[in-house]
């Protein structure tokens, strides 16, 4: 016990330069009493002890334990403020920040998390069309003109996300975005509504119902799905997971409508104190009413989230191969597309304008198809201003 008291005294001394009225033995005893009360479900008593100890020793560990007890007691706003204070401290290790995030997110969701912002968009080929020119069909030259012009367009996209974690454990979420371009044919309205819940009988399992919609010029759809995933923690730095999604797509073009399903695996690894790698491998299927539109598409997404002295860098790469299941008699091949998208997002923790944090994203996307008219490439970017309550 003596050694524990001395160790706790050294820890508190390292984390605080203020004078300590309590003796190391008293501080250690009070801290342990708070832990025991919290373990017994008496978070009111635990919070009282942590508050008294915090007045004498403002150490991050005590703030975190107080925040956890307040979270369990329903004092979500105060708990969130404490979690944020420790998370934002320069001395907090990345591994500790990683462990704080789930608690911080739960506190935000219990209150009602509202995020909104606007993106300014520029795109060299928003319609994703190939260049016009001469194509050959059975050796016969034909002039091909794309269905939309290939030209630089500019637009804005205001968006809103509202999330709430209810007392019964249900998590509800709404996301909506409206995209306006100078070419009105590119305008779109996108929404997603979801209701999910963690399955108590199976630790780490989450089940969710979604309805996604995209209203645009010529290719609108509504996609209701059921999704489930489970996360497995390998260590305090790494985790993997597995999941799946199934539903039915109702498309404006009824030939495209059909059964949709997508199994996937995912993972993340904090390999440096300030860097986390993440990835996701999925296999998307659409079985359309008209087999001409049915496809299978394996996809790999991976990236690295890095923070360097407040500068956040997020490079990502997405690779997919879409194989259409029906032989195309016109072109005489089974169509196959390979799409590569790379992007880089940049933001800074200290850059803020009236409560809004700017983020710059640039990307390059290219599709190569064995049917030339489906080839395209595009360069674009957007500046996003977002605010979180």
Query: CA distances (Å), 229 to each of 198, 203, 204, in order?
Result: 10, 11, 8
Please give the Cα distance from 177 to 117 (Å, whole number): 10
CA 321 to chain centre: 23
Rounded to 5°, the CA angle 27-33-39 comes to 140
| pLDDT reported for residue 277 | 96
Residue in the structure block whose two tokens are 């300014």: 120
Please give the Cα distance from 276 to 268 (Å, whole number): 7
What is the assigned CATH class of domain 113-388? mainly beta
What is the assigned CATH class of domain 2-110? mainly alpha
Please give the Cα distance from 347 to 90 (Å, whole number): 17
Please give the Cα distance from 11 to 149 (Å, whole number): 65
Question: What is the pTM (predicted TM-score) of this model?
Answer: 0.74
**Facing residues of 115 across strands?**
161, 388
| pLDDT reported for residue 284 | 97
pLDDT digits (tens, 9 = 90+) for 97-154: 878 888 888 888 888 888 888 888 887 766 665 655 555 555 555 555 555 556 777 8
Please give the Cα distance from 39 to 115 (Å, whole number): 34
User: Closest Cα to residue 335, out of 288, 300, 297?
Assistant: 297
CA 28 to chain centre: 39
User: Closest Cα to residue 245, out of 217, 212, 278, 208?
Assistant: 208
Which parts of the chain fold into alpha helices (H)? 2-15, 24-39, 43-56, 60-73, 76-88, 94-111
Q: Give pLDDT tens digits along the chain (389 positions).
A: 344 344 444 444 444 444 446 788 888 888 888 888 888 888 888 888 888 888 888 888 888 889 898 888 888 888 888 888 888 888 888 778 878 888 888 888 888 888 888 888 887 766 665 655 555 555 555 555 555 556 777 888 899 999 998 988 899 999 999 998 887 788 999 999 999 998 988 888 999 999 999 999 888 999 999 999 999 989 888 999 999 999 999 999 999 999 999 999 999 999 988 899 999 999 999 999 999 899 999 999 999 999 898 899 999 999 999 999 988 777 778 899 999 999 999 988 777 776 677 889 999 999 999 888 888 888 888 888 776 55
User: Closest Cα to residue 128, out of 213, 189, 178, 185?
Assistant: 185
pLDDT digits (tens, 9 = 90+) for 18-70: 444 678 888 888 888 888 888 888 888 888 888 888 888 888 888 888 989 88
| pLDDT reported for residue 75 | 86
Rounded to a whole number, what is the largest CA-CA distance in the chain? 92
For residue 125, give both structure tokens.
């080929």
Structural domain spans, the chain: 2-110, 113-388
Cβ pair 122, 382 in contact under 8 A: yes
In sign, the C-alpha dihedral spanning 112, 190, 364, 180 is negative
User: Closest Cα to residue 380, out of 131, 149, 129, 155?
Assistant: 155
Please give the Cα distance from 128 to 113 (Å, whole number): 35
Cβ pair 214, 186 in contact under 8 A: no
Cβ pair 143, 134 in contact under 8 A: yes
């Amino acid at each position: 016990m003596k050694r524990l008291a001395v160790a706790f005294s050294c820890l508190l001394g390292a984390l605080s330069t203020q004078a300590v009225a309590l003796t190391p033995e008293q501080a250690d005893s009070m801290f342990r009493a708070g832990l025991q009360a919290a373990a017994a479900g008496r978070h009111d008593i635990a919070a009282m002890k942590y508050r008294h100890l915090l007045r004498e020793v403002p150490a991050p560990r005590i703030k975190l334990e107080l925040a956890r007890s307040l979270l369990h007691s329903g004092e979500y706003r105060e708990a969130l403020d404490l979690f944020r204070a420790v998370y934002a401290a320069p001395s907090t290790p990345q591994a500790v920040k990683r462990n704080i995030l789930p608690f911080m997110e739960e506190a935000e969701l219990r209150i009602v998390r509202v995020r909104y912002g606007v993106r300014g968009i520029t795109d060299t080929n928003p319609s994703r069309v190939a260049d016009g020119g001469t194509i050959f069909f059975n050796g016969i030259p034909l002039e091909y003109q794309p269905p939309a012009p290939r030209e630089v367009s500019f637009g804005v996209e205001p968006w809103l996300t509202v999330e709430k974690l209810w007392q019964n454990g249900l998590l509800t979420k709404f996301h909506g975005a409206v995209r306006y371009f100078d070419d009105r044919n590119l305008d779109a309205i996108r929404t997603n509504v979801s209701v999910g819940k963690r399955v108590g009988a199976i630790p780490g399992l989450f089940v969710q119902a979604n309805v996604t919609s995209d209203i645009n010029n010529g290719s609108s759809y509504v996609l209701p799905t059921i999704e489930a995933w489970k996360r497995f923690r390998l260590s305090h730095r790494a985790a993997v997971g597995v999941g799946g999604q199934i539903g039915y797509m109702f498309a404006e073009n009824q030939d495209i409508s059909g059964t949709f399903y997508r199994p996937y695996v995912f993972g993340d690894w904090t390999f440096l104190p300030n860097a986390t790698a993440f990835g996701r491998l999925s296999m998307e299927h659409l079985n359309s009413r008209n087999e001409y539109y049915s496809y299978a598409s394996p996809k790999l997404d991976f990236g690295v989230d890095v923070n360097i002295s407040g500068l956040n860098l997020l490079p990502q790469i997405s690779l997919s191969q879409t194989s259409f299941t029906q032989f195309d008699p016109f072109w005489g091949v089974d169509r196959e597309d390979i799409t590569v998208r790379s992007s880089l997002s940049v933001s800074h923790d200290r850059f803020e304008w009236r409560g809004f944090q700017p983020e710059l994203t640039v990307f390059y996307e290219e599709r190569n198809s064995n049917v030339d008219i489906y080839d395209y490439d595009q360069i674009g970017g957007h500046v996003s201003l977002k605010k979180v309550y």
